[in-house]
Amino acid sequence: MWSTSIYEAQCDAIITFYGTTVPMEFIFKYNITGCPEGRYGLYCDNDCVCKNGARCHGFNGACECRPGWRGRACDVPWSEVVIVETPGDSVVKYIDTNLTLTCLAPHIHVANISWLHQAESNHNDTNLRIVEEAEMQNSSINFQPILESANGEYTCVVKAVDGGVMNTTFVLGATKCSPNYYGEACSQVCDCQYGGTCDRWEGCLCPPGRRHGDRCEHTCAPGTFGLNCSKNCDCQNQTSCDVVNGTCICAEGQWGEACENVESKPENNQVVILLTSVIPSIVIVGCILIVTLVRRRGVHTKNTEVDIEMETLSSWELDKEDIHFEHMIGEGEFGHVVRGRLRVPEGYQVLVAAKSIRPDRMTASVVRDFRREMDILARIHEIKEGHPNVVKFYGVLTKSEPQYIVVEYATNEELRRYLWSLREECKVTGHRRLLERLGFASGVASALSELARLKIVHRDIAARNVVISDRKVAKIADFGLSRDVYVSSAYERTNQGGEEELLPLK
């Protein structure tokens, strides 16, 4: 192994026990952390010289000495006073967690050890408080748990038998709650949803379009929008607005930025005049079309765009009892993506990503794009296995609300993020993984060739729309709504021929 990436192996099995068949899944993760003990270097081929329990740097072999030792190999005794933290100094100190401070005095004949505490808000020397005093070689203070009132400076004073005095100070500044907790004692759980973040005092801070507090499950009330629903809509004629950005959603026959304009209905006599003037023109145009169609009878044209006619998806309909939804893994301007487990006909479960339309975005154009994506995926998977470099399509749920498109779950996320991780890894190890990246490029090209054969135009091939499977295979994804689910900010709304379309900014 030449990488420090996490390796993961998954084993699926069907076990029969006393006549009962049970699907099982085992996942093993191997975290490669560096060279084995006592070795260092790029290829771990050098021997460490560190002594007395010192740690050896895996790259350059430098020794990290334990308290009481100095020198290049940590073999020189050194009298000193140190405070050791448990858990270690690299761990963030959160309120409501445990901490132990241990004062060590290696190579000192100790007569007495004292702990002094100076509160964080009081820097007057006369207010120093003796926490503990003992006659031993080391002494500890336990915080179970840490309270905010315990913050401040903790000084360990060591008096030696020969009369010498040495001390060292540790500063405790725990002001944050553990992740997903809030409140004065950090005892309340946030569990924020829909992209909300947990604040120490307020709980869930929700994205625009959702109210703060609870778990962000409530959208803004009608007539309000924005961050914490603090802004009021200025839409007219009793029209509603977008809860995220306040854009007015005009009804049929209304237009304008605030839907302030309304079409007036023509009077009866105007209708009669209009019909008498329009009908002859309609008849003439109809005759021309009929003649043209007769002349072109038998000639079929192929449409090379992705405007596929709605096909029956009954063969792709999944049983809702076979899928178990877990948690949301993505939310965009128009849809949600939820991770789940699907029981396949073979009897075992597979990880899937299920996409649906947000209830507050159920417009005709969004539903059209959603159905279009179903048709495209079904067409690509006319042969059930589909193409190895196109995200696998498992089926749809259309007989219940909300409706779902179910595809395979990509363990390694999108290609863009994966390439970023390779770049950071290369800075440390020097390995460029050229063959792996060429494999990704070849896989994408193979998928595009298949789409070209099927007369399908993706229109947005980019690294963000390619996912990497657990077997490190590049697969094209995002055939419609999923573009909005993952990266809605990378697209711009346009109006093409009276219909709303999304175009990639780049």
Domain harbouring 102, CATH code:
2.60.40.10
pLDDT bucket at 75, cuts 50 / 70 / 90 = very high
Higher pLDDT, 405 or 2: 405
- Residue 234 resides in a domain: no
pLDDT tens by residue, 149-189: 888 899 999 999 998 999 999 999 888 888 889 888 888 89
- Residue 122 resides in a domain: yes
In the chain, what is the straight-line distance between the N-terminal and C-terminal CA atoms, in Å?
39
> At 177, is the secondary structure helix, strand, or coil?
strand
Looking at the structure, do residues 170 and 86 belong to the same domain, yes or no?
yes
Cα–Cα distance, 471 to 418 (Å, whole number):
13
Query: What's the average model confidence in pLDDT over 49-66?
Result: 88
Cα–Cα distance, 410 to 475 (Å, whole number):
9
Looking at the structure, do residues 52 and 130 belong to the same domain, yes or no?
no
pLDDT value of position 76: 93
Looking at the structure, do residues 100 and 57 belong to the same domain, yes or no?
no
pLDDT value of position 287: 62
pLDDT value of position 46: 87
Rounded to 5°, angle at Cα 496 from 453 and 455: 5
Query: What's the average model confidence in pLDDT over 342-358?
Result: 88
Cβ neighbours for 18, distance < 8 A, ≥ 6 positions apart = none
pLDDT value of position 298: 41
pLDDT value of position 490: 57
Query: What's the average model confidence in pLDDT over 6-34?
Result: 79
Tell me whether strands 335-343 and 349-357 are parallel, antiparallel or unpaired: antiparallel
- Residue 452 resides in a domain: yes
> At 401, is the secondary structure helix, strand, or coil?
coil
pLDDT tens by residue, 21-42: 888 888 877 766 678 888 888 7
pLDDT value of position 295: 55
Q: Percent of the chain having pLDDT more than 90?
A: 19
pLDDT tens by residue, 272-281: 454 555 566 6
pLDDT value of position 305: 36
Cα–Cα distance, 295 to 32 (Å, whole number):
72
- Residue 426 resides in a domain: yes
Q: Is the pLDDT of residue 479 over 70?
A: yes
pLDDT value of position 394: 92
Q: Where are the beta strands (DSSP E) in 67-217?
A: 69-70, 76-77, 82-86, 99-104, 110-119, 129-134, 138-143, 152-160, 165-172, 181-182, 188-189, 197-199, 203-205
CA atoms within 13 A on the CB side of 370: 25
Looking at the structure, do residues 172 and 84 belong to the same domain, yes or no?
yes
Q: Which of 25, 55, 76 is the last residue of a domain?
A: 76
pLDDT bucket at 128, cuts 50 / 70 / 90 = low
Using only C-alpha atoms, the chain has a radius of gyration, in whole angstroms, of 33
Higher pLDDT, 143 or 329: 143
**Helix axis angle, 434-453 to 415-429, nearest 10°:** 160
Looking at the structure, do residues 65 and 125 belong to the same domain, yes or no?
no
User: Residues, the chain, total?
Assistant: 506
State which of 95-109, 208-222, 254-268, 330-344 shows the largest mean pLDDT.
Answer: 95-109
- Residue 346 resides in a domain: no
Q: Which of 319, 360, 355 is closest to 338 using CA atoms?
A: 355
- Read off the CATH number of the domain in which 482 is found: 1.10.510.10
Residue 353 tokens read as 């990503």
Query: What's the average model confidence in pLDDT over 427-456?
Result: 88
Q: Which of 130, 157, 176 is the last residue of a domain?
A: 176
Q: Which of 308, 268, 315, 235 is closest to 479 using CA atoms?
A: 308
Q: Is the pLDDT of residue 61 over 60?
A: yes
Query: What's the average model confidence in pLDDT over 8-16?
Result: 85
Domain count, the chain: 3
Looking at the structure, do residues 66 and 116 belong to the same domain, yes or no?
no
Query: What's the average model confidence in pLDDT over 62-68?
Result: 90
CB 357 within 8 Å of CB 367: yes
Q: Percent of the chain having pLDDT more than 70?
A: 80
Range of the domain at 445: 415-504
Query: What's the average model confidence in pLDDT over 347-359?
Result: 88
pLDDT value of position 22: 85
pLDDT value of position 51: 92
Cβ neighbours for 200, distance < 8 A, ≥ 6 positions apart = 175, 176, 177, 182, 186
Cα–Cα distance, 132 to 137 (Å, whole number):
14
Q: Which of 476, 195, 467, 488 is closest to 328 using CA atoms?
A: 195
Q: Which amino acid is at 64?
A: E
Query: What's the average model confidence in pLDDT over 201-208?
Result: 86
Query: What's the average model confidence in pLDDT over 51-71?
Result: 88
- Residue 278 resides in a domain: no
Q: Is the pLDDT of residue 44 over 60?
A: yes
Query: What's the average model confidence in pLDDT over 371-385?
Result: 83
Query: What's the average model confidence in pLDDT over 311-320?
Result: 81
pLDDT value of position 462: 87
Looking at the structure, do residues 72 and 105 belong to the same domain, yes or no?
no
pLDDT value of position 484: 37
Q: Is the pLDDT of residue 94 over 50?
A: yes
Looking at the structure, do residues 84 and 72 belong to the same domain, yes or no?
no
pLDDT value of position 359: 83
Cα–Cα distance, 312 to 373 (Å, whole number):
13
Query: What's the average model confidence in pLDDT over 129-135?
Result: 68
Cβ neighbours for 48, distance < 8 A, ≥ 6 positions apart = 38, 39, 40, 56, 61, 63
- Residue 338 resides in a domain: no
Looking at the structure, do residues 488 and 456 belong to the same domain, yes or no?
yes
